[in-house]
Amino acid sequence: MLETISVDLVIMLCGILFGLIAGMLPGVGNVVTLMLCYPFITDFSLFQIVLFYVCLAGAAQYTGSVVATTLAVPGETSSLPAVTEGHRMFLAGKGNYAISNSAIGSFVGAGLASFIMMIVLPFSVWVIAKFYNTHVQAVILIAVSIFLIITYGGQKWYHNLFLFAIGWFLSSIGFNKEMFTYNWPDLINYEKYYYLHFGLPLYPVVVSLFVFPIFLKSWNSPRPDMTALSNLWDNKFFMHVKEYWNNIGASLRGTVIGSLCGLVPHMTSTLASNVAYVKEVALGKKKGTYNENGDIKSLVSAETANNAAGLTQLTPLLLIGIPITTSEAIVLNIIENNMEVINWETTVATGMFGKLVIFFFVMNAICLCAAWPFAKHLHVMFKINQKLLYSITFVILMALVFYMGTIVQQQHYYLMVVGALLPLGYFLRRWDTLILIFAFVLQTQIQGAVIRLWHIYSDYFPHSHQLLLQ
């Protein structure tokens, strides 16, 4: 028991460390960091995989806000309000006040969201146990896919549809367990190319079609101006705690908004922070309290919301095994590769959610204390040549591709997949390709649900109602 807890604590601390670094480096983010850690977490238990991801994503929110406040560079997309309000306060000499109150608000939001979820969870489990079936699963998966295609990344819907179709096609290569046949027999000779039997592996696909394009897109991005960092630091972080109580109302409103927005596919923390920010700005202007030089209430509300959403966004994954963000889809892939299943039964039976809430709370407490020290040393991170950083990261990822291939004795195949897909990645460099990865990961679930529905209602399968999954 104690040994298990000790291992979980180490995993939590590793997730926090990688998350703090990921939030500080624009262009790297959660997905790239997750892929860097991918080979080393494949042997984790179900709970440990989810714990590592939660700590990584949660910690990135803290330092992402710090970078946004000090340098006007959003480390995470959910930190965009900090670019507006936080940076104004920073330039006015109130950077310490902005960062400390943002961190405290994030901590409070995470704690209140945990409490809300513990209350709502029993009812959610009852609803799922009573009503969730193949029909509902298919509707949810299709609805999430359509929503992503329409809204993802600020791109045209037909661009997203094109990227989604590419991901779907690439994932369709290999054996179809639902139909007991190969998906593309006319295009690929599976007897000759037997290694395609199990399809394309996720890791080289992500490296080629997401990491490579995003590095190309960020290659020539300008280095942030750090001249303002020199004289604005103090050691009064905890002296600002008492000032937070003036913003408790904004924090509570952000918690409610974040808890609800966390359930919106793909948007989650980003939608939560922006909705909370817009609502708080509107409220402040209505009351005449909005500060044009940096409004602390709007900032606190936004930061509280994105951390509250960080927990609630896990609910569909933990209860019905359906991810609503691309990083969660990658986590699901790791879980499935370990021959494990994640749903409400495993979550409840193992007490996973309760343990996760406890570790989530501890993680936020650690990040609350770490936010300020990290802020004081930002200049060290940004002295690193960005092109050199991207180059080293990509070389490491390629080495991990070879390593992952070696584990399954298919290292040459893994390298061939990368070589074949890198030109496509270069072609897609102007777009946000995460939706492609989402389609690649979830194609099997979506196709399986649709095929089962076809079996249920097809005249060719009179007894197919027995295939209905309850």
Burial class (CB in 10 A: 0-12, 13-18, 19+), 235: exposed
400-413 tens-digit pLDDT: 888 888 877 788 88
Q: Is the pLDDT of residue 381 over 70?
A: no
Model confidence band, residue 377 (pLDDT cutoffs 50, 70, 90): low
Q: Per-residue pLDDT averaged across 181-200, rounded?
A: 65
Q: What is the pLDDT of residue 189?
A: 61
pTM for the full model? 0.79
Give the closest residue to 444 by CA, choosing from 203, 47, 266, 179.
Answer: 179
Residues 39-65 have pLDDT tens digits of 888 888 888 898 999 888 888 888 777
Partners of 182 in the beta sheet?
175
What percent of the chain is helix, strand and coil (3-state, nearest 5)?
75, 0, 25
- Give yes or no for residue 468 having a pLDDT over 60: no
With a cut of 60, say whether residue 465 has pLDDT above it: no
CA distances from 385 to 380, 388, 389, 396 (A): 11, 5, 6, 17
Q: How confident is the model at residue 66 (pLDDT cuts 50, 70, 90)?
A: confident
Tokens of 414: 């893994």
Radius of gyration over every alpha carbon of the chain, rounded to an integer in angstroms? 23
pLDDT above 50 for 461: no
Digit-coded pLDDT (tens) for 5-15: 788 889 999 99
Tell me whether residue 43 is exposed, middle or buried, using C-beta atoms within 10 angstroms of its C-beta: 0 to 12, 13 to 18, 19 or more: exposed
Determine the 3-state secondary structure of 184 from DSSP: coil
Asked if residue 427 lies in contact with residue 157, where contact means CB atoms within 8 angstroms, the answer is no
162, two tokens: 């094109």
Contacts 24+ apart (CB under 8 A), 238-247: 238/100, 240/96, 240/97, 240/100, 240/101, 240/104, 241/100, 241/104, 243/97, 243/101, 244/100, 244/101, 244/104, 244/105, 244/300, 247/101, 247/105, 247/296, 247/297, 247/300
> Per-residue pLDDT tens for 68-105?
777 766 655 666 677 778 778 877 777 777 888 888 88
What is the model's pLDDT at position 157?
Answer: 83
pLDDT digits (tens, 9 = 90+) for 106-153: 888 888 888 887 787 777 777 777 777 777 777 888 887 888 788 766
Most confident of 79-83, 252-256, 389-393: 252-256
Q: What average pLDDT score do residues 400-427 get?
A: 85
Contact between residue 397 and residue 211 where contact means Cβ atoms under 8 Å apart: yes
Q: What phi and psi, each to the nearest 5 degrees, are found at residue 350?
A: -95, -5
Q: By percentage, how much of the chain surpasses pLDDT 90? A: 2
Of residues 455 and 144, which shows the higher confidence score? Answer: 144
Tell me if 305 sits within 8 A of 416, measured CB to CB.
no
Domain ranges of the chain: 2-467
pLDDT surpasses 50 at 449:
yes
Give the highest mean pLDDT range of 130-144, 155-169, 327-341: 155-169
End-to-end CA distance of the chain: 34
pLDDT attached to residue 186 = 55
Hey, CA dihedral for 11, 306, 92, 226, is it positive or negative? positive
Pick the closest to residue 46 from 317, 357, 443 (CA basis): 317
Instruction: Give every CB contact of residue 289 below 8 A, 6+ residues apart in sequence.
Output: 297
At 75 the three-state DSSP class reads: coil
Predicted local distance difference test score (pLDDT) of residue 234: 54
8 A C-beta contact, residue 359 and residue 51: yes
**Across 198-226, average pLDDT:** 76
Above 80 in pLDDT, residue 170? yes
User: What type of residue is 371?
Assistant: A
Chain-wide mean pLDDT for the chain? 77
Mean pLDDT of 382-392: 73
Report CA torsion sign: 425, 427, 432, 434.
negative
Residue 162 Cα distances to 426, 432, 434, 436, angstroms? 16, 12, 12, 9
The two tokens of residue 214 are 């995003």
Q: What is the DSSP letter of 240?
A: G
The full DSSP string for 296-312 is HHHHHHHHHHHHHHHHH
- The owner of tokens 């008492």 is 242
Contact criterion met (CB below 8 Å) for 461 and 179: no
- For residue 144, what pLDDT is reported? 79
Residue 235 has pLDDT above 60, yes or no: no
| Whether residue 190 has pLDDT greater than 60 | no
